[in-house]
Structure 1
Amino acid sequence: MKERIQLATNSYGKWKVPKDFTPGREVLIGFSRKNGHAYLIAGKYEIHGHFIFKKTFFREFCEKSCEPLIFIRFKDISPSDLLEIESLIKRSEGIRESSCINYCLITIFTALGIRIESEGRNIVNLEDCLLSILEFGASRNGKRQVVEIYKAVDWDLRQILNHFNLLEKRFEGTHLISRFLGRVFFFHRKSHRLFYQRIKNHYSLPLLRIDQ
């Protein structure tokens, strides 16, 4: 494998982080231990997706932010990179016509040109994302992108994947209900449909499935 999972040992509030972690200057994709949800840390923002209505909201990233079980850290991020991705986040608040992991991947690709390599496979959940980046790494505008993967607890890869697979099964019924309600509200208003269609056309990428 190209990459390995490291154990984070330093503390930043509720977080376990590497020694050189700099709050407000990081770009990360985290996976919640509580519900398996993927969310994005980008500079001063922490971005989550609304479960039912497929919208996003952002808030300040701080010591009280909920720690993920595992996170992907993108290295060599410049101040201008942070301004670019923060600007995109502010412009696109409320837009998430995709799964939470796809939202994170689309955002870092659109803002910074960073792509998790997958050898043509679809990335639709945490396991796809994690195994792809461990095996194939990431790229930025065609060149290798340095990444680091950290875990907050001393579990091996199989334990981590089993944990998230169990969460996925536990929330399967809730996912079905949320998708049904999302479809109902989506088709209920013409303006809503047109709004998301414009976003879908703008952010579609061949690698990512946006109908999840």
Structure 2
Amino acid sequence: MNTITATFFPIAKEREIHALEIINISKKVTKSDGTNNGIWHHGGSVDNDKEIIMAFSPTNYHSFLICGDHEFHPRLAYNNSKVLKTKRESIRAAVFIRIKGMSRKDLINFQKYLSKSTGKRSPSCHVGALRALKYGASVEITNVGMNIGTPLQTMTDILNNGFSHNGRQLDVECFTTRDKDFKAILKDVILNQRRYGLFFILSSFFYIFIKLFAKNKVIK
């Protein structure tokens, strides 16, 4: 377990992070020429019909969800969310969290929920992913609920507490395709958070407007 203290934007305070170890699969992802695009070709060892995956992209740690044939991408409030057809044989992510232990019925219902989520709005991608988990699958971060904080807070809360379904703790596995220790990954998240901090603030204000005048566009 690593412990670091980080100052992050836009919430200007320090936070102590107790980071759980995550499984490093960078050797399976890194090509012979040394490049790493964050794509893990798992050959079907991950069954999207039996779990939910919350992923953070290798580009900027954008958060999205995978379940069945659906890849749900929430975005900042001034952009529509997107639902793409997932690639069954691979996952492209810097960090991804496999959420297991839900019933087949619940997973099918969640896939139906995601299929109708195109065009929905959220204050940020990570909050949108958590809202979709809560309202579409009754899944929340254990002892935290629906996190409305920063990307850093979201990631660390998940790794500290895991997920629960209607109060029942779920099996959670965390992976990274990056050849870095956890502290370095968190520093990357912090840097991206600062880089896009102004956009997060603007999106939060825009989301208030949407909640007031276009409630049907909110992820719920």
Band the TM-score falls in, shorter-chain normalisation: 0.7 to 0.9
Q: Structure 2 vs 1, CA of residues 122 and 27 (structure 1 numbering), >3 Å: closer, same or farther?
A: closer
TM-score by length of 1: 0.74
Q: Mark the runs of 5 or more structure 1 residues left unpaired by the alignment.
A: 204-212
Query: Which residue does 1:194 correspond to in 2?
Result: 213
The secondary structure found in structure 2 opposite 1:153 is coil
After superposition, the CA RMSD in angstroms is 3.4
Deviation larger for 26-35 or 72-81:
72-81
Say yes or no: does 1:5 pair with 2:30: no
Q: Deviations over 1:9-40 (max 9, x none)?
A: 656x9226598412454411111121221111
Distance in 1, matches of 2:22 and 2:44, equals 15
1:133 to partner: Cα distance: 2.2
- CA deviations on 1:36-78 (whole Å, 9 max, x unpaired) are 2111112111111344524211010016977111011101244
Distance 1:156 1:23 in 2: 27
1:79 is matched with 104
Distance across 1 between alignment mates of 2:75 and 2:147: 23
Letter in 1 for 2:214: F
Q: Which amino acid aligns with 2:22?
A: I
Conserved in 2, the CA contact under 8 Å of 1:114 and 1:140?
yes
Tell me which amino acid in the other structure corresponds to 1:81. D
- Which of 133, 139, 153 is the aligned partner of 2:178? 153
2:83 to 58, 81, 86: 58
How many residues are paired up?
A: 194
How far apart in 1 are the matches of 2:54 and 2:84?
15
Give unpaired runs (5+ residues) of structure 2: 2-18, 30-37
Tell me the CA shift for residue 79 of structure 1.
3.0
Q: Which amino acid aligns with 1:168?
A: Q
Change (3 A) 1:104 1:10: same
Write out aligned runs for 1:55-134 (5 A): 55-62=80-87, 67-119=92-144, 122-134=147-159
Identical amino acids, percent of aligned pairs: 25
Pair 18,152 (structure 1): closer, same or farther in 2 beyond 3 Å: farther
Amino acid across the alignment from 2:24? L
Distance (Å, rounded) in 1 between the aligned partners of 2:153 and 2:202: 23
Higher helix share: 1
Judging changes above 3 Å, is the alpha-carbon distance between structure 1 residues 170 and 122 closer, same or farther for their aligned structure 2 residues? Answer: same
Whether the 8 Å contact between 2:127 and 2:147 is mirrored in structure 1 is: no
Partners of 2:41 and 2:186 in 1: CA distance: 19
